[in-house]
Amino acid sequence: MQIFEVIERVEFPFMEMKEILDGVIVGDIINDTSDGKVFLLVDHDTKKIWTYNGTQSSLRTQIYGGILAGMLRQQLKLFYRVYPLNMHSEEETEFQELIKKQLGPGRANPIEEKDFSKKSVDKYVMDTSIQNPNLKKAIDYINQFPQPKDLNRRFMIIGGQIFADEEVTEAFLKEEIKSIKSVKLGQLNNGFTLFKDQNYSTRLIIKDRKIQGIELYIKKEDKTSPLELKVPLIHEEKLNKPGSIEDLIKAFKILDQIPEENIDLESTKKEENSTKDDSINQS
């Protein structure tokens, strides 16, 4: 396993990568002290190039990391594929297995200034426009990424639509089960929308060099009221009403015998019907 750090430069090509030779395993490099850095990990056993963006790393460095990862893949004759390590949380098995891998020499070499041309930088720059991606696919893709520590997602923007997370009830026959789902709030107005009510942390989700969505996060301890959005909303009437789970279970219960008051009521109805039939026959 080889690991490279992505570094910004002031002059062309504005980026460089340096191989990290210190440390025994990946976990010696990627840990709590690497929040502000971007790394490229080359796993020669699985033919994978992993991009790792620290939570405090700049957006520019993350973009440079994506460019260098693509160039590194070309250097390795396209036998390798690029994957985002940030898609896995630190608790997931794949992440844990990766940070325990041994560091060592390999056939990957740092991308140098001579590998760039004046046009090559522009060729790799991502398309920063939002072209209204497929809504369901975009939400599913965004929700694959683990949530940042100590942050709560306040808003999610996909295309021109804005969503918020809401707790919903999924099942309640045996026990009440709740989950968090993205609920559409409305559409953004033409022009610009300025979110200035809180100090947001912004996360961009990229796929195939296109922005899938923008997430706005706040700190978990932040208890201030949410932003009152000036966007058009269509409120849908909720058909479900809160009730007692015991009453619901009782409604489905099969009785061993019919209560006596119900039997008396049925007998009375039969007698009334019989009297009506006799009077009809006599007439």
Q: Specify the pLDDT at position 258.
A: 57
Locate the DSSP E strands across the chain: 2-8, 15-19, 38-43, 48-53, 81-84, 151-158, 161-171, 177-187, 201-207, 210-219
Which long-range contacts link 130-134 to residues 24+ away (Cβ below 8 Å)?
A: 130/158, 130/159, 130/160, 130/210, 130/211, 130/214, 131/159, 131/210, 132/159, 132/160, 133/158, 133/159, 133/210, 133/212, 133/213
CA distance 7 to 16: 5
Q: Label residue 219 left, alpha or beta by phi (over 0 means left) and psi (-120 to 50 means alpha).
A: beta
Q: Specify the pLDDT at position 267.
A: 61
Tokens standing for residue 5: 């750090």
Architecture of domain 2-124 in this structure: 3-Layer(aba) Sandwich (3.40)
Helix (H, G, I), strand (E, B) or coil at 78: coil
Q: Specify the pLDDT at position 261.
A: 57
107: phi then psi, degrees, rounded to nearest 5: -85, -5
Tokens standing for residue 144: 């694959």
Q: Specify the pLDDT at position 279.
A: 55
**Annotated domain spans of the chain:** 2-124, 126-249, 250-282
Mean pLDDT by runs of 10 across the 283 residues of the chain is 94 92 93 92 95 88 90 90 90 93 94 78 49 83 87 87 80 68 77 71 84 87 61 50 67 63 58 57 52
Q: Specify the pLDDT at position 177.
A: 72
In Å, how far are 38, 52, 132, 133, 150 from 213, measured between CA atoms?
21, 19, 9, 9, 21
Instruction: Find the helix or strand (DSSP H, E) in which 278 lies.
Output: helix 260-282
Q: Specify the pLDDT at position 103.
A: 94
Name, in order, each residue with C-beta under 8 angstroms of 157's C-beta and a sequence gap of 6 or more.
163, 188, 213, 214, 215, 216
Q: Label residue 150 left, alpha or beta by phi (over 0 means left) and psi (-120 to 50 means alpha).
A: left
